[in-house]
Structure 1
């Protein structure tokens, strides 16, 4: 352990260009010590192969991160302190299996017409509003929020309430610790209230299914039920909502790639995969693990008890895996990105997010063929600040 480890994250989370430090580390020091904002130093892992190993090797534990509440982390409060992201198999497998059937490829395909209907309605409203319009509030956010509300059984009318609490939960520096803690408690209380409503009157939604799994099958505890519901609500809309705006920005700043999509909309599925690879969602790069045994990565021995950050952002820009890795290429034929993670913690809602992102791009390309950003340069853009994710609080567009 070094006393002069650089501070991490490397940037302030504004902007979608990956910080140059990652490239230097991949080339010269792929497993390096960094100082996290809370709790001390950790190992930052930057190469694609090493990141995949951290994400799959059981010697790197998610559960062990909860053993020391003062351990290295990005947020003032531990993120989902006892949630599914902080579990290892077999506990993780047990809980994940309760909802995995809702996110299979076939189930998501069955949802596509409804996703397209929601996107079409939002496009209609934008056209009626006329340019300029805020893509975030009028399209990027309400599309996945509506979908996850309908899946879970959360009232869409409550969207402003849980959105504000979600942002607080994902805060790094945007809010003081006591406000973050209060938001976590408020989200738990909100989901607990919905759970009691489902106990009194079950419905055809995922939250009712989870309540039945708790009450009839005893397959999860009450705390697990509440925290899993919170996790599904937050992550079920946050990734897609943020990335819709990010993808539109990236295409607008790469007009040749946007022109290729307009000329051949059949490229959209491939373009979504490339945009997922190329566009860093996280202001930080991965959820910490803790080594439970000594492990060697790229010639560096990580000792048992050390914290490790697997940098998904960096892995997705690894020049040894992706030719011309820093270039956005919607024609890229091979794309083994790990934007949704890898291994047992691979994003449960990846197929749903893909469907939402593809539908969003397809809708915007067809309904707004002249779509462009109002801001001519990045200086006029409104970035989210002090959160775990990168993206826009507003993104004015015209057409």
Structure 2
């Protein structure tokens, strides 16, 4: 047997550096600043490498664990020991009421899908899932196209627009209102309330809470009116609120608070994710002209394959939801080698997981034809986003129509002048000024 020399016996070997002489890792990045909001991805790369499960104090004062690697994120999203119910949060006095949507507690809107676990979650999700079947979403496609064209018609002749305010924001609001059964004459009120939520999402919670209260009052009144007018037999394509009322009147044990909370969270979660998908997606295409040109050629040839994979890539590359909504440990557990205590909040960083080089080749490169793309943009497990099929339809319709009708669309400002909305869960632009050749 031949002996292999060791560093101690081989004078030519280079000894390992002493611990004190090893290069220190770069300093930890500062999180949740305005600079971080503009481009959080370098900070997430640092966390994945040096502190993949990281305890931090959030701007609200709440201390929580951030899970940043793909494998750990997928595990955490499916772990039933991480509850969605805020009752499991061992919250200190200074953090009370700061782990959910502002105003939802006072407005009695807590019993929605983002705050409950099985078996209640299973029961409520089953009731509402009927509105998001592939067949129902496909039936809704002409309405989404009609809304898309109508909104573009309003600014096409001007040669400029703010694509957030004029397009990405109103499209999903009107679409989800139609799906829920909010009368057309009331939908502008919802647009105003939703606008207040977006404008104040990263700032004072009072503005959001007031909008939530107004929305709660309206939904209670609408549920009452629909219950009084509901025919004995269901009608084809019955709106979602009527379906929820009918279920509660036929033994499904859906309380009025549950019906109102369900309608509320579908509005709240169902519009801002799509606003950001359209806004972030358009911005990514405008700043990656080669990928945008590929997509436009594909659309001109009447092919939809690149549009479909492209929207999935945009969801991965710079998706609308930065962090998954709150989870709370119901018992001690371990994630990524770190011990999580019972009662601790856990936030899965979807934006980081979807840029993990251990899972995605060239994760910082936008490739609209990427095939192996099981991103976590809409979550994973039993809380996978219920409205994902509708959001995909709206995103595909919006982007395809914009690039086809306004082929020379371009940014009207430098990228450095754009501002991203502050906030914890969502990731989206405040404005997206664009210019193009007027279309008359």
TM-score normalised according to structure 2 size: 0.82
Give the match for residue 255 of structure 1. Answer: 289
Provide the C-alpha distance between the structure 2 equivalents of 1:62 and 1:41, rounded to a whole number of angstroms. 17
Give the match for residue 269 of structure 1. Answer: 308
- CA 1:185 to 1:142, structure 2 compared with 1: closer, same or farther past 3 Å? closer
Provide the C-alpha distance between the structure 2 equivalents of 1:393 and 1:179, rounded to a whole number of angstroms. 17
Provide the C-alpha distance between the structure 2 equivalents of 1:167 and 1:388, rounded to a whole number of angstroms. 17
Give the match for residue 261 of structure 2. Answer: 227
- Equivalent residue runs for 1:137-176 within 5 Å: 137-169=165-197, 171-175=200-204
| Pairwise CA distance, 1:382 | 5.2
Provide the C-alpha distance between the structure 2 equivalents of 1:218 and 1:397, rounded to a whole number of angstroms. 48
Give the conservation status (yes or no) of the 8 Å contact 1:36–1:74: no
The answer for unaligned runs of 5 or more in structure 2 is 1-27, 232-237
Provide the C-alpha distance between the structure 1 equivalents of 2:344 and 2:166, rounded to a whole number of angstroms. 44
Does residue 332 of structure 1 match 2:354?
no
| Pairwise CA distance, 1:313 | 1.0
Q: Secondary structure of 2:392's match?
A: helix
Alignment equivalent of 1:208, drawn from 229, 242, 248 = 242
The answer for unaligned runs of 5 or more in structure 1 is none
| Pairwise CA distance, 1:67 | 5.2
| Superposition RMSD in Å | 2.5
Does residue 73 of structure 1 match 2:99?
yes
Number of equivalent positions: 390
Give the match for residue 344 of structure 2. Answer: 306
Deviations 1:29-49 (A, max 9, x none): 111111123353111111111
- Equivalent residue runs for 1:172-191 within 5 Å: 172-175=201-204, 177-191=205-219
Provide the C-alpha distance between the structure 2 equivalents of 1:74 and 1:167, rounded to a whole number of angstroms. 18
Deviations 1:229-288 (A, max 9, x none): 111122222211222122111111111111111122331111100000011424x52212
| Pairwise CA distance, 1:301 | 1.6
Provide the C-alpha distance between the structure 2 equivalents of 1:199 and 1:75, rounded to a whole number of angstroms. 27
Provide the C-alpha distance between the structure 1 equivalents of 2:103 and 2:61, rounded to a whole number of angstroms. 11
Q: Secondary structure of 1:34's match?
A: strand
- Moved segments of 4+, more than 6 Å: none
Q: Secondary structure of 1:85's match?
A: coil
Provide the C-alpha distance between the structure 2 equivalents of 1:7 and 1:219, rounded to a whole number of angstroms. 47
Give the conservation status (yes or no) of the 8 Å contact 1:34–1:41: yes
Give the conservation status (yes or no) of the 8 Å contact 1:6–1:34: no
Q: Secondary structure of 1:301's match?
A: strand
Give the match for residue 52 of structure 2. Answer: 30
Q: Which has the higher contact order (CA 8 A, sep 6+)?
A: 1
Alignment equivalent of 1:195, drawn from 217, 220, 223 = 223
